[in-house]
Amino acid sequence: MVAGDDGILMIDTCATAARTRRFLDAVDTATGGAPVRLAVNTHQHGDHTYGNSLLPSTTVIVGHSRMREGLQADPIIDGCPPLWNPVPVWGPVTRRLPDISAGSALTLHVAARRIELLHPGRPAHTTGDLIAWLPDERVLFSGDLVFAGLTPLVFMGSVDGALAAVDWLESLQPDVVVPGHGPVLTGADITRVLDEHRRYYRLILDAAQDGLSRGADALAGRPPGRPGRVHGLGRRRTDRAQPAPRLRRPRRPGPRRDRRLRGHDRLARPPDAYLSLKGSTTVRFVTYADDDGDRVGVIHHGQVHPLGRGVTMLGLLRAGALRAAGEQALAAPAATRAVGDLRLRAPIPDPPAVRDFMTFERHVEGVSRLGGTDAAVPERWYEAPAFYFTNPYAILGPADDVPVPPGSRMFDLELEVAAVIGRAGRDIHPDDADAYVAGYTILVDWSARDVQFAEMQVRLGPTKGKDTATTLGPVLVTPDELQPWRTDTSFDLTMTVEINGERLGQDRWSSMAFSYADMIAYASRGTEIRPGDVLGSGTCGGGCLAELWGRKGLNAHRPPATRRRRHRHRRTTRHLDHPRRARRRADSHPARTTGPVGPVVAVKPEPVHVQHCEESPMDEFVIVGAKVFDGEKNLGQVDVHVADGVIVSVGGPRVTGVEVVDATGATLLPGLIDAHTHTDAAMLRQALTFGVTTELDMGSVPATMTPLRVQVEADRSFADVRSSSFSLTHPDGHPHQFRKGLNDPVWPTATTVAEAAGFVDDRISEGADYIKLIAESGGAFGFQLPHVPLEIHAAVIAEAHARGKMVMAHAMTLHETEQMVGAGADGLAHLFADTAHTQEIVDRIASANVFVIPTLTPLASIVGLSHSTDLARDPRVAGKLSPALRAHLSDTFGGLPASHFDMALATIAALRQAGVDVIAGTDAAALAVRGVTHGASLHGELQLFVQAGFSPAEALRSATSLTAQRFGLHDRGRVKQGLRADLVLVDGDPTTTINDSLSIRAVWRQGSRLAAASTLGYR
């Protein structure tokens, strides 16, 4: 335990009721009755967890998320006999799960002590191990990663993972180790016991290797110098002790680097991306094209084991679930497919961001010679790992055709390696940076050199010259796969480029002047990196034609596009020798083989064929004859030209030769944005039929939102979505009273000011675009609810702002509104209606530049107005809704007097008069809020805005340009050149008659027109 003046942190409990009571009595005697405030379960086994149920109800229990899952599924506590005799007398113990689920790390503070709960990064004793590390005192509570005086036991984790964990624990350099079993260790005893663990695990691994190498199982093995089976281990236990992915990994040569963080007394944590896949000899993930879309799989012995449908690489990375998904795929494999039969896509087809560095000096020198034979590497290149952003929407797979940029005659390819980021971070120290890498893959950067060199004369860096294509793949290799080739800065692997069998150039990965740790630290300086981000190494020496041209002239080798054909301002390479897969032996790793020059990372080109389409592409069109409201003002009747999902021109000369949309008698609007929803896939489809092209979700579960966002990105029949992830609320507070029966996971929260930073960081790692707080004591509902204290809200707001994140606050009473405005919230997700406004609160909101989403529609339902009932009867609405949704929209709460709605209208008028930005949002949440539904209710909200005194044009602005401006969605919300073609065409003129906004003729999301049947009616 760790004791202090404010209570006790207990590390683990006991197996039986009797033992736990004796333990608690001893703790009580030793501490004078100090309360047990916190308890940490180091893993799921009953001898460390069953006593949880005897702790005080006020004790907060913490465990790893996988430990919690394991204890939930534990059959022994439910009465199933264990595997040993005699069976203990358990006594009155029951299953009590942790209150807080930790991930890779969680910091606690007890009695001014910092206690770091750390996961070893891979399965070891179990899959959900945690250690408790006190860095200031150098005290380590190891759980069952260490047994003192006992034989180590591994039957739910990984033997080689347990071996790696021993090295990891030793790297912490503890002065005191409290093992899971046995006496406390200090001094030389720590080294002795850890060495004993190493010898034992290696004995098991060597024995298993011997057995498997002879075509038998691990039990048939004979450790070197020992006859027969491994002494002292029964068959059942040895079966469970087989190694996880590999039998032995060569240890990195040379002394261990001292990787201490500046200003800290601990060593860097191991990478979260470490994987341990049972029975696998390689750790390789792929994304491949299947009949119903992309699938993610794990390669094992040339076969691809698929993950579940709808699972994406980006979703796994954002959820931190790469390891678990891989383990599940191999542990219970579905029907496998030969990798050679699949069309492989980029391992991560939709990275959030792609940064491309310049880290190979020979490449920089070679390309510099294109400017003259005397050109040299710029001095500033040596000062920092320079990079540029390239286009994340132009990612290709290893079998995809490569388009040639318009106007280019010097098309080039560049061989690189790329790191894929597995966790979010900001201002990362180089010593911590390796932990952020989920894996590596091959990257080919396709470059229009003539376009690039011309545009760089204006000193803006490579833009269109690097904008057309980047190839990734074929596999994502986890870092531990490459450990045998690890050097101080990278990996000792050869990189080779061939075109039509002719070697173009060769270099070694270890030639990088900057390490990936340097690149990650530099990329995250003053900003953040996120899961799925791709960091290219830059071209290796000899890895492109430009170097050859610089050294030997432009005639040294022709560009790889041997035949071009004009196609509506596009050209596509035919018979382009495309990087398909790494050069390989039949049984070797695609991205790591051994050849005459040692391990190789190579590109082996294969011909790629293209299909030409001569008709005009359907994503280019011009809308003519419409009156245009651009989100701010009426432009009159002008043409709007759209191509490739972007507005090319507004009001320019008439474009010919493209599809023409006749919009005579209609008004063209920007796509509408609902600033407050709680959504799902079906509701995003429904919203788009009503011209709502973007929804801003104000509270969601990442496990459902993350895959939904991936689906929405790929399918334009959904409205786009942004999200706050989990809202900050009390565990028993709002909205949990409305979410019973939804099988929600435990919502994370912050219970102290010190936890505020971690809460914000976790939401950002889940992909949150903004942070949502709930300040709700129950006054708006007529009953009391527990709520988060104001000082914690203020701390979360400060931490979010420090990370560049906006904060939305749920506050439905005047008192809570005053608190949230004073704490620094950026926006209010509701308008208070419990009392009349005061000029003081109006002035405070205005002076703080806080915007307000009044959500008048649910308020109208709460007071029993017929507004939504009338909306549901409108044939333009009723025809698009199912009978159940029509009935839901017609329903009302009717719990408050109508005077509350009148007060809200008066408050809005005062806010508007004071210059406060009032934004349209509905709080639509499937069937949770009566009288509200997705899409249709935003039109009803605009009608209520007009009732509150807005002009129709002002109301439309509140659901388009103003919302985009306040939420930083600078690519939408306007009908303006260069922005997304999110557009709504309506009959009539809603800028004068707001009711016309429902007369929808057509909807486009990013230039893709929603099918007419979807906008016309429900089927």
Give the domain range for residue 168.
2-186
Would you tell me the crossing angle of helices 545-552 and 361-368 to the nearest 10 degrees? 50
SS3 28: helix
320 within domain boundaries: yes
Q: Minimum mean pLDDT among 14-28, 631-645, 936-950: which range? A: 14-28
Pair 335, 482 in one domain: no
The pTM (predicted TM-score) of the whole model is 0.47
From 344, 369, 386, the end of a domain falls on: 344
Residues ≥6 apart with Cβ < 8 Å to 664: 624, 625, 626
Phi, psi of 780 (to 5 degrees): -70, -20
- For residue 338, the cross-strand partners are 303
**How far is it, in rounded angstroms, from Cα 168 to Cα 288?**
35
Q: Is the pLDDT at 372 greater than 60, yes or no?
A: no
Taking residue 393's Cβ as centre, other Cβ atoms within 10 Å add up to 12
Strand ranges for 262-391 from DSSP E: 284-290, 293-300, 303-306, 337-338, 344-345, 354-357, 387-390
CATH of the domain at 573: 3.90.850.10
SS3 576: strand
Taking residue 463's Cβ as centre, other Cβ atoms within 10 Å add up to 16
Asked if 420 contacts 386 with a C-beta cutoff of 8 angstroms, the reply is no
Pair 393, 518 in one domain: yes
Q: ∠712-717-719 over CA atoms, to 5°?
A: 60
Phi, psi of 1016 (to 5 degrees): -90, -35
In the predicted model, what is the mean pLDDT of residues 417-431? 94
CATH of the domain at 10: 3.60.15.10
Asked if 476 contacts 439 with a C-beta cutoff of 8 angstroms, the reply is yes
Supply the mean pLDDT for the chain.
82
In the predicted model, what is the mean pLDDT of residues 678-687? 93
SS (H, E, C) 720-740: EEEECCCCECCCCCCCHHHCC
Tokens of 628: 């245009």
Predicted confidence band of residue 617 (pLDDT cuts 50, 70, 90): very low
136 within domain boundaries: yes
Choose among 529, 509, 441: nearest CA to 481: 441
Percentage of residues in the chain having pLDDT higher than 70 = 82
Q: How many domains does the chain have?
A: 3
Pair 171, 318 in one domain: no
- For residue 396, the cross-strand partners are 471
**How far is it, in rounded angstroms, from Cα 552 to Cα 505?**
13
Question: Which pLDDT does position 561 carry in this prediction?
Answer: 58
Question: Which pLDDT does position 810 carry in this prediction?
Answer: 96
660 within domain boundaries: no
In the predicted model, what is the mean pLDDT of residues 699-711? 83
Pair 326, 440 in one domain: no
Pair 524, 579 in one domain: yes
Asked if 149 contacts 140 with a C-beta cutoff of 8 angstroms, the reply is no
165 within domain boundaries: yes
Q: What is the pLDDT of residues 547-578, one digit of tens each?
A: 887 666 666 677 775 333 333 333 333 323 33
From 156, 186, 216, the end of a domain falls on: 186
SS3 472: strand
Would you tell me the crossing angle of helices 702-714 and 681-689 to the nearest 10 degrees? 40
Asked if 667 contacts 661 with a C-beta cutoff of 8 angstroms, the reply is no
Element (H, E) at 106: strand 105-110
Pair 334, 482 in one domain: no
Pair 363, 462 in one domain: yes
**How far is it, in rounded angstroms, from Cα 421 to Cα 436?**
6
Q: ∠361-364-367 over CA atoms, to 5°?
A: 145
Question: Which pLDDT does position 607 carry in this prediction?
Answer: 33
Pair 337, 372 in one domain: no
Tokens of 69: 């899952």
From 344, 369, 392, the end of a domain falls on: 344
200 within domain boundaries: no
Pair 414, 533 in one domain: yes
297 within domain boundaries: yes
Q: What is the pLDDT of residues 969-1007, one digit of tens each?
A: 999 999 999 999 999 999 999 999 999 999 999 999 999
602 within domain boundaries: yes
Question: Which pLDDT does position 83 carry in this prediction?
Answer: 61
Tokens of 385: 């790992």
Q: What is the pLDDT of residues 3-32, one digit of tens each?
A: 887 788 999 999 888 899 899 989 988 888
Choose among 8, 21, 175: nearest CA to 90: 21
292 within domain boundaries: yes
Pair 367, 514 in one domain: yes
Residues ≥6 apart with Cβ < 8 Å to 375: 368, 369
Q: What is the pLDDT of residues 82-101, one digit of tens each?
A: 666 677 788 888 889 998 88
* Helix residue ranges, H only, 429-534: 430-433, 449-455, 516-523
Question: Which pLDDT does position 927 carry in this prediction?
Answer: 58
Pair 340, 356 in one domain: no
Question: Which pLDDT does position 283 carry in this prediction?
Answer: 67
Pair 170, 289 in one domain: no
